[in-house]
Amino acid sequence: MSAPRRTLHLNAFLMNAGHHDAAWRHPAASPERVTDLRYFQELARTAERGLLDSIFFADGLALWGKARHNALGGFEPLTLLSAIAAVTEHIGLIATVSTTFNEPFHTARKFASLDHISNGRAGWNIVTSGTLDEARNFNREEHLEHSLRYDRAREFLDVATKLWDSWEDDAIVLDKEGGVYADTDKLHPAAHRGEYFGVAGPLNVPRSPQGHPLLVQAGSSEDGKEFAARYAEAVFTAQQTLADGQTFYKDLKSRLARYGRTEDDLLVLPGIAPVIGSTEAEAKALERELTELQVPEYGLAQLSGMLGVDLTGADLDGPLPALPEERDINGNKSRFTLVAELARRDGLTLRELIARLGAGRGHRVYAGTPEQIADQLEEWFTQGAADGFNIMAPVLPTGLTDFVDHVVPVLQRRGLFRTEYTGSTLRENYGLPRPANRYTRPTG
């Protein structure tokens, strides 16, 4: 008997009118629907029709300068995913929550709730938040320093996993006759006292179908990768070239043994913004059309945010000005480096750089036919750069519908992707085991 063939995993990263920063101006987009629940429910159902593993919402805790030139719904992801859970059955639901601006008791509880509500489809994209604008909405004038954010994140996860384990799987006995609902010997306090948190526990929600949500992470700095190796079960990442993808993949997988984990315990999912056309020319034309709709001030502001450097008023036809070193960046370190290298490598003017970043904010963009896109995914998947992909449709809903209707069938024909859902939880979609409860004694 041969081992089951390795197949790839696909996450639909959903965002407002689409990932391209000019998507909302495109005729195919629906920016008037970004505060309409049904819009997101329809997108989720499209992804489910395509048998994707999961959908995902990013999150930031400040408006920045975003609203003038881009459509913004801004729904809090857990609230939104809960309403989506009610109209879907199979697809995983991944919400971003920041460890820097939240409390572990609330966060553990909300994810346990979502996991119950969705029958085991909850996932948490753990972020540490990168901007001063966010800190300013939470009583701070300075943003917590990068390495301290990861310190806090580690302790946060330590507490959250204790809380998720605080009810053993069989704690509920439901003995109506005897008047006993839960066996309190199977409830465990967290009794946590640490540097950032003091949490008594136990959690006030029984253990959820998955034990706890799938843990996802997306930081690519040294601290970020080390954190991922310890806790994450899936990693979103932005890589521009196959070689960079392979390096990242190998690096991350090699860190797992340190935490008693195997390479199969963590999936690496690089982002790709597929610009799909029925011919290559059509795809390139769509890409150009979107570039022409870009608002340069917005692109500059976004770029300033990614680099942590104010570029307002800079010459669009000149090169990127001199930049600080990564070690002096307190925001998103890996994105800073990626963007700086992209500009340097290809000798781009600011205008060109903004165009290149428009569709994917640093994620890889690829314009082509469904076959060509499937080739790209297959290459990265078989060449040691990916276990699957984070699909970032440039324009919604069309970019997702096209992916589901035209790219998924190609992947299926090649035996690279499922033809039906076989599991019922998010972890089952991803082929990952349900976590054991630390307190449960082995029986037998």
Ligand X SMILES: Cc1cc2nc3c(=O)[nH]c(=O)nc-3n(C[C@H](O)[C@H](O)[C@H](O)COP(=O)(O)O)c2cc1C
3-state secondary structure of 444: coil
| Binds 130: which of a copy of itself, ligand X, none (CB < 5-8 Å by kind) | ligand X
Pairing of strands 214-217, 122-127: parallel
Among 37, 60, 62, 242, binds ligand X (CB under 6 A): 60
Interface positions, 364-403, toward ligand X (CB under 6 A): 390
Give the separation between CA 79 and CA 14, rounded to whole angstroms: 15
Interface positions, 267-286, toward ligand X (CB under 6 A): 271
Binding segment toward ligand X, per CB under 6 A, in 42-50, 247-255, 328-336, 430-438: 328-336
| Binds 124: which of ligand X, a copy of itself, none (CB < 5-8 Å by kind) | none
3-state secondary structure of 173: strand
Q: Closest separation between CB of residue 125 and ligand X, Å? A: 6
Alpha-carbon distances of 5 from 408, 414, 444, rounded to whole Å: 17, 12, 34
Binding segment toward ligand X, per CB under 6 A, in 35-43, 121-129, 240-248, 407-415: 121-129
Binding mask 281-320 for a copy of itself (x = CB under 8 A): ------------x-x--x----------------------
Interface positions, 56-115, toward a copy of itself (CB under 8 A): 60-63, 66-76, 78-80, 82-87, 101-103, 105-106, 109-110, 113-114
3-state secondary structure of 142: coil
Q: Could you check whether the bond before residue 397 is cis, i.e. omega within 30 degrees of 0?
A: yes
Binding segment toward ligand X, per CB under 6 A, in 18-26, 202-210, 233-241, 308-316: 233-241
Binding status of residue 243 toward a copy of itself by CB under 8 A:
no
Q: Are 259 and 230 in contact (CB under 8 A)?
A: yes
Give the separation between CA 397 and CA 389, rounded to whole angstroms: 18
Q: Closest separation between CB of residue 403 and a copy of itself, Å? A: 24
Q: Closest separation between CB of residue 40 and a copy of itself, Å? A: 9
Give the separation between CA 232 and CA 223, rounded to whole angstroms: 13
Binding mask 177-206 for a copy of itself (x = CB under 8 A): --xxxx-x--x---------xxxxxxxxxx
3-state secondary structure of 394: coil
Structure tokens at 362: 């640093």
Which residues lie closer than 8 Å to 3 by C-beta, 6 or more apart?
Answer: none
Binding status of residue 45 toward a copy of itself by CB under 8 A:
no
Amino acid at 312: T
Amino acid at 208: S
Q: Closest separation between CB of residue 75 and ligand X, Å? A: 13
Amino acid at 385: A
Pairing of strands 122-127, 172-175: unpaired
**Binding residues with ligand X: total (CB under 6 A):** 24
**By the criterion CB under 6 A, which residues form the site for ligand X?**
58-60, 96, 98, 127-130, 218-221, 223-224, 236-238, 271, 332-335, 390
